[in-house]
Structure 1
Amino acid sequence: MSAPENVPSAAEPANGSAPEAVVLPTAEPTADPAAAVPAPVAATGRRLPRAVGVALATAGLLAVTATSAAVTVAVGKPDPRPAVAAAPAKTSPSASASASASVGASPTAAASAVPTVPTVAPTTAVPTPAAPAPRPTSTLKGSVSGGRHDGDLRYFLLPIPDGGESYGPPDGMKLTDDEVAELFGNQDGIMRILGSYGYKDAASRMYRTADGKAEVTVTLLHLGSTSSASEFVKGYTMKLDPIEIDGDRNAHGYVRKPKQQAYTGSMTGISSQGDVQYTIDVDVKGTPDKALLSELMKRQREWLSSGG
């Protein structure tokens, strides 16, 4: 989540003016412009835990090893030993003459007497494709009634689409107070401000889409009531170019276009459903298409509404 410009004040959560926050500078990429989307980094600049990066690297190594093993084939070889002809048995002169006559009369029969060396055709073992590993079944539980969400907040994170790759635990992560404060640029009093809106907890999940073209980060804040979440969204602004979120007139959308198409651009959508405020960040190569963000916001809104 990118650092917001303003959030509602603690004294007047509904209508009070919001203090200006410190917006963390966003450095332009210095990597080769032809490179793909950079390694997973949350839109705030908060990097994933080191253990996650190590796990990804290890998984990649294992995948290479497995692929190499799969293409190894076994080729059968013919027997290298030469065939040995049997020694002729001693026969009488008449028998020899008879045999000679028979050979002369029937060359085919003589040829058939020569031992035939069997030819062993090489065999190739065709590797059987391994079945894809099933997606782990989540054990998280949650329910929603009248806009009130109960259970594990991670349950309400937008599900990862088929083929998507999770960065970190597939179920997402609960955020500590320090991590939540970092999402808002560590501005003074942010946890006190959140507390005035009945803040309970937060959860986040980051994944890469199946086509590898986008990285999506979903962050949920569980607040005290539907009205608290709605008022919080009203005062949540950012120092980026605004864009419209289709289908949600109460949402805020922002875009950061890259200076070059080879660099990474980003979009952020902010809204609420019931007592949960949600933010979706999308990082893509080149200029982002707001249609993707609008679709993700719609899916998250529906997921929070139905509870799955």
Structure 2
Amino acid sequence: MDRLNYQHLFYFWNVVREGGVSRASEKLRLAQPTISGQLAVFEKTIGAKLFLKQGRNLVMTETGRTVFNYADEIFSLGRELAEALDNRPGARGQRLSVGVSNALHKLLVYRLLEPALNSAPPAHLICFEDKLERLLTELPVHGVDLVISDAPATSAADARIYNHLLGESAVAAFATPALHARCAEGFPHSLDGAPLLLPTTNTALRRSLDQWLDAHGLFPDIVAEIEDSALLKTFASAGAGLFMGPVAMREAIERQYGVELIGTLAGVSERFYAITAQRKVKHPCVAAILERARDFLTSPA
């Protein structure tokens, strides 16, 4: 293919965003056969199918997803260019699309991404939350620029994916004042029989906590296992049980959720990773995130 037809790309982009040819034709004020015909020409030009029919619905192929991700970035940059040329107040800088593992502490994620918001001009930040495995599939096709996780991508992941260790934090137990009064004395043995909220077994922190509890012979009352860290802390702030969190975010956790630190878990830490599709980081906001993470996360021994 010698030349990309951006009008065809624009039609395709709108069909995906609007959820079908019918809605896209209404938005663009074009007849449905016109858009369908242009999509057919586009598929012929690139030599691949963009959609497959499933009943009455159009479902993107793998090629379609790749094309859409690039199109989304292209037309987002176009909007930013128009705003910059118009000198509109509050115009945003470079677009940064981030995938966030749903097991991560949200306060820590904000702290990690804060450099992008404080850049000049501020980055246009787009965040997606999902399981790490699904987020990693978006990196090679440019669905996201960066994935933040508490576990590295394994060798089973795409070969074009690279791990950048941001640092680590010790882990501590937190609870509401009522539970704190009950569990602070005699820690960690006071956790035996205490109500505990745990992340689900597919998280790196949960595996570390299970090993630590076994090593100390502790059998807490596991009230709930919750994958989403924000939901887990919502339960904890209501007094449902104590939970484990990074010491690096102690002040923010205590302030936001009305809890207090009970004690630090000796030998347990959480590591945090930035995962990209490039070995050498080129995006300036990603470089700033990696640099600033050292301000509040320790380097592993």
The TM-score with structure 2 as length reference comes to 0.20
The TM-score with structure 1 as length reference comes to 0.19
Where is the helix percentage greater, Structure 1 or Structure 2?
A: 2
Where is the strand percentage greater, Structure 1 or Structure 2?
A: 2
